[in-house]
């Protein structure tokens, strides 16, 4: 196709002529139509659907405030803490930029967690949105990496020792662990080399990947269309022009809807920034206002609140907990054997995998300890230590989210039309997740450890048993058209 510009009248406004010139060379108008003015979203969106836009807003806040912080920050172990104090005390409005960035980190995870809750409630990960969900999980992983790398940069006590603990966890990986930890740190301890590489990842590498995933997430979403509280595909009911009967243009209807959500969010965000940026030590720990000291360990080291559910799972996996994990693995293998229609080859493979994992977990020493037998096993039967499997379970607890589109076998997408008892499973999962987060912040205790172990089983049981419980019960009839009540 040859290059063409739309012919406009000679007396057309100069703005129209400029836009026409740009449109012939760059798809401004067509992009606006495809993703805003002619992107038809379901007309029954509720407040849960504002968190995607809020996440985009917080991303912009973090990038903009981060740019201003980098102008004054020194990625040097001897100067980093002092440069943060300089930003707080001497840079005009530096305290505001720093608090917006630190509060924005927690706000980002709050908004993203709520965005994921909406996906769980309304089945937004189900066909045809599997790739949208996978991009979202990738965004979540990037956020975790970005937050972890950025947490070290203030070079306070909790920053330093938190990074020391987390990086040392990689040392539990068999064979490659010590070398991997050394490569991540760039030194034998967390030092200036660690600070420099974390700074480069936090400022350049991870944000580039994150922005790319966000763009891919939005493009994939607009290709298949948005889900809605009823879980009905609005593209199945269209008029003669192909416009969904139950859809309305995203702009101006949902841009106004989201502006209202943005206004409420900014009021709450501003209140936190101005009146409680530390949020009682959850957003900014008090130990992080003390310069990093490699010779003085804080009495209690814990990650920031948004990591604590997974950190609690890590701490729950102890030597005495391994026998229960092994029992759970064999019980799950038995469930697959007796309650699925898989071929016998696949079932045998599952049993063999369960046996191998149990041996790696140290089933023989665990049983010997349970029976108080003093037996020495060969190295290949002794299994790996609990610390390694704690790291594994911590990683799997995040990665298992990517399997949701294939674990959920429900006949319907939305919680509205599932059996009423399904909501209690979601509530139980939510309570377990909150408890894991709470006890991950607290110092280790006997009661907290027991509750964390129970909640770890509930957390993994929610996902691993989903193929069975999600398909059980009597489902309600899903209407042909979305239910919408104008207000």
Q: What is the mean pLDDT of residues 421-427?
A: 96
Domain residue ranges in the chain: 11-301, 308-487
Residue with tokens 């991997």: 180
485 annotated ligand-binding residue: no
Number of helices and strands (H, E) in the chain? 21, 2
* pLDDT given at position 341: 86
Q: What is the mean pLDDT of residues 109-118?
A: 97
202 annotated ligand-binding residue: yes
Pairing of strands 247-249, 40-42: antiparallel
pLDDT at residue 1 greater than cutoff 60:
no
* pLDDT given at position 420: 94
Q: What is the mean pLDDT of residues 297-323?
A: 90
CATH tag for 11-301 (out of 3.30.70.360, 1.20.810.10, 3.90.199.10, 3.20.20.70): 1.20.810.10
**Phi, psi (deg, nearest 5) at residue 190:** -65, 120
pLDDT at residue 377 greater than cutoff 70:
no
With beta carbons less than 8 A apart as the criterion, state whether 364 and 385 touch.
no
Residue with tokens 């309650």: 339
* pLDDT given at position 174: 82
* Alpha carbon distances (Å) from 423 to 123, 266, 326, 444, 469: 13, 31, 29, 31, 11
115 annotated ligand-binding residue: yes
Task: Give 3-state DSSP helix, strand, coil % of the chain, rounded to 5.
Answer: 70, 0, 30
* pLDDT given at position 24: 87
132-173 residue pLDDT tens:
999 999 999 999 999 999 999 999 999 999 899 889 888 888
Q: Average pLDDT, whole number, for the chain?
A: 91
pLDDT at residue 373 greater than cutoff 80:
no
Q: What is the mean pLDDT of residues 105-126?
A: 96
422 annotated ligand-binding residue: no
* pLDDT given at position 292: 92
CA dihedral 181, 398, 302, 76 (to 10 degrees): 50
**463: exposed, middle or buried (Cβ count in 10 Å: 0-12, 13-18, 19+):** middle
Report long-range pairs for 429-436 (Cβ below 8 Å, ≥24 apart).
Answer: 429/458, 429/459, 429/462, 430/117, 432/458, 432/459, 432/462, 433/309, 433/459, 436/308, 436/309, 436/310, 436/312, 436/313
Q: Tell me the C-alpha distance between 194 and 191, whole Å.
A: 5
Q: Tell me the C-alpha distance between 455 and 457, whole Å.
A: 5
Q: Tell me the C-alpha distance between 125 and 117, whole Å.
A: 11
DSSP structure class, residue 291 = B
* pLDDT given at position 4: 72
Q: What is the mean pLDDT of residues 167-189?
A: 88
pLDDT-derived band at 104 (thresholds 50, 70, 90) equals: very high
40-52 residue pLDDT tens:
999 999 999 999 9
pLDDT-derived band at 457 (thresholds 50, 70, 90) equals: very high
* Alpha carbon distances (Å) from 233 to 143, 270, 271, 412, 459: 30, 38, 39, 12, 30
pLDDT-derived band at 3 (thresholds 50, 70, 90) equals: low
Helices 446-464 and 308-316: crossing angle, nearest 10°? Answer: 100
Q: What is the mean pLDDT of residues 352-367?
A: 83
* pLDDT given at position 33: 87
DSSP structure class, residue 37 = I
pTM of the model: 0.93
Q: Which two tokens stand for residue 243?
A: 């416009």
């Amino acid at each position: 196709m040859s290059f063409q510009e739309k012919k406009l009248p000679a007396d057309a406004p100069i703005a129209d002529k400029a836009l026409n010139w740009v449109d012939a060379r760059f798809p401004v108008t067509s992009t606006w139509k495809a993703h805003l003015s002619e992107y038809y979203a379901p007309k029954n969106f509720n407040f849960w659907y504002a968190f995607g836009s809020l996440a985009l807003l917080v991303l912009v806040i973090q990038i903009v405030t981060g740019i201003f912080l980098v102008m004054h920050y020194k990625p040097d172990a001897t100067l980093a803490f002092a440069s943060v104090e300089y930003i707080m005390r001497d840079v005009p409005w530096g305290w505001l930029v720093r608090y917006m960035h630190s509060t924005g980190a927690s706000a980002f995870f709050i908004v993203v967690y709520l965005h994921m809750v909406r996906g769980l409630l309304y089945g937004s990960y189900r066909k045809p949105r599997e790739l949208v969900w996978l991009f979202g999980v990738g965004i979540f992983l990037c956020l975790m990496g970005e937050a972890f790398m950025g947490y070290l940069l203030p070079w306070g006590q909790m920053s330093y020792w938190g990074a020391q603990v987390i990086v040392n966890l990689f040392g539990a990986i068999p064979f490659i662990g010590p070398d991997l930890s050394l490569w991540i740190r760039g030194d034998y301890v967390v030092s200036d080399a660690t600070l420099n590489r974390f700074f480069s990842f936090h400022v350049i590498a991870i944000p580039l990947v994150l922005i790319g995933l966000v763009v891919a997430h939005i493009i994939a979403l607009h290709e298949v269309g948005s889900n809605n509280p009823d879980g009905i595909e609005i593209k199945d009911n269209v008029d003669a022009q192909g416009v969904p009967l139950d859809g309305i243009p995203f702009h101006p209807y949902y841009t106004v809807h989201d502006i209202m959500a943005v206004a409420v969010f900014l009021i709450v965000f501003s209140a936190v920034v101005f009146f409680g940026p530390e949020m009682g030590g959850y957003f900014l720990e008090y130990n992080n206002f003390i310069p990093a000291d490699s010779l003085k360990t804080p009495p209690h080291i814990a990650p920031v609140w948004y990591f604590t559910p997974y950190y609690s799972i890590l701490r729950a996996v102890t030597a005495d907990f391994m026998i229960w994990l092994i029992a759970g693995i064999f019980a799950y293998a038995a469930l697959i054997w007796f309650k699925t229609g898989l071929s016998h080859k696949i079932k045998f493979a599952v049993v063999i995998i369960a046996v191998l994992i149990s041996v790696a977990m140290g089933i023989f020493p665990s049983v010997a300890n349970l029976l108080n037998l003093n037996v020495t096993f060969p190295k290949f039967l002794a299994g790996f230590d609990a610390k390694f499997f704690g790291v594994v379970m911590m990683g799997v607890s995040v990665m298992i989210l990517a399997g949701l589109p294939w674990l959920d076998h429900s006949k319907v997408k939305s919680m509205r039309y599932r059996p009423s008892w399904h909501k209690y499973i979601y509530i139980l999962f939510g309570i377990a997740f909150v408890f894991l987060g709470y006890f991950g912040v607290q110092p280790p205790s006997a009661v907290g450890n027991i509750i964390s172990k129970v909640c770890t089983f509930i957390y993994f049981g929610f996902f691993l048993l989903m193929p069975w419980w999600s398909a059980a019960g009597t489902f309600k009839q899903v209407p042909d058209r979305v239910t919408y009540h104008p207000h």
